[in-house]
Copies of this chain bind each other. A is one copy, B any other.
Amino acid sequence: MGESNKKKTTIYDVAKRSGVTTATVSRVINGKYIVAAATREKVMKAIEELNYYPSPIAAGLSNRKSKQIGIVAPFFFGPFLLRILETLVSELKEYEIIFYDSGDPDKKRQTCIKVSGENKLDGLFFVGLPVLVEEEVKFRNVKFPIILLDNKHNNFSSISIDNIMGSFQAVNHLVDLGHERIAIITGASEDPFHLTVAKDRLKGYRMALTASGLTVHDEYIMINDWSREGAYKQARKLLSLKHPPTAIFAVSDRQAVGVLEAARSMGVRVPEDLSVLGFDDMEFSEYMGITTVAQPLHILAQLGANLMLEEIGLGSSKKENIVLQPGLKVRHTTASPR
């Protein structure tokens, strides 16, 4: 901590030194008013010499703009979150990014209350999470745009990913390979945040089977908690069935690992005896050769950032809802059944 005996140099100091008023200094700083070239020079020089930095706080109080954008997201999104955060930060260079954790619904609620109450942000992103009605209500009188990433809402713009089609596509790949006994290990259908990912991916699975004229067997549908351990157990159950599936679609890569472990533990070879399909395209999926579905996170965040900038500029919401398609990445855990 430095000895900050010297008080901050303010816009007054600059004004005095350059022989103009603070109004003029302000004008050159913000560059959105006409200032005589000569005057500008003088001011710039003074700024330079005094090593002056305008106080964003004071500016904020005066013009009610904080130059800050908030992001509410849960940490359990892990790599996805990081990816999105990264591109958001780099696309939104003019703004500081404030991170609001919302690891559980209550934290999320608190954040919504705080953020809408203070009403100081210039924009807000929700990533991965939906906005509940009670939350939406709070944002009614807020002065900044809100954009949902990887989720949607009628009253806000959003960029989301089509989980149903991603799943549909993935299962179709299995069907194309000739599989008929395809099982799915999905995520918890009810969750504290009211996410619909699990349901959507299951829906895509059903659609794909039906579209191919295959029947959906309930015993092939396992509802799991997104965990690797859970998937391990359920895969063992599936593989112990009288008619075990020849392919298992795990709706997350983490769960796919569990399936792989289950297969190994039972001497079932992948992909010879069993095809395993994941979802997410995590780093380890590449290392482990897992066939999976990749989400265009980078583009999602980029589009989100652009939209945010537009809406901030317009001062109003465009209510645009963009849906992105994920893509299949075929690797080494899927093959035709024997």
Contacts and interface: CB of A to CB of B under 8 A. Distances in A.
A143 B1 contact: yes
Chain A interface main SS type? mixed
B144 A1 contact: yes
A147 to B, nearest CB: 11
Nearest to A75: B86
Given A60-B57, A99-B99, A139 B79 contact: no
Interface in A66-110: 66, 68, 75, 78-79, 81-82, 85-86, 89-90, 96-101, 103
A101 B51 CA distance: 24
Interface residues of A, number: 57
A1 B61 contact: no
A103 to B, nearest CB: 8
Copies of this protein, total: 2
A31 to B, nearest CB: 17
A232 to B, nearest CB: 11
Contacts of A81: 82
Given A2-B139, A142-B4, A284-B287, A98 B98 contact: yes
Contacts of A79: 78-79, 82
5 contacts: A57-B120, A75-B85, A90-B101, A96-B98, A287-B288
Interface of A: 1-4, 6, 8, 51, 53-58, 60-61, 66, 68, 75, 78-79, 81-82, 85-86, 89-90, 96-101, 103, 114, 117-120, 139-146, 228, 257, 282-284, 287-288, 311, 315-317
Given A55-B61, A57-B66, A96-B100, 20 more contacts: A1-B143, A1-B146, A2-B139, A2-B143, A53-B114, A53-B117, A55-B118, A55-B120, A75-B82, A75-B89, A78-B79, A78-B82, A79-B79, A85-B99, A89-B101, A90-B103, A98-B98, A98-B99, A282-B283, A284-B288
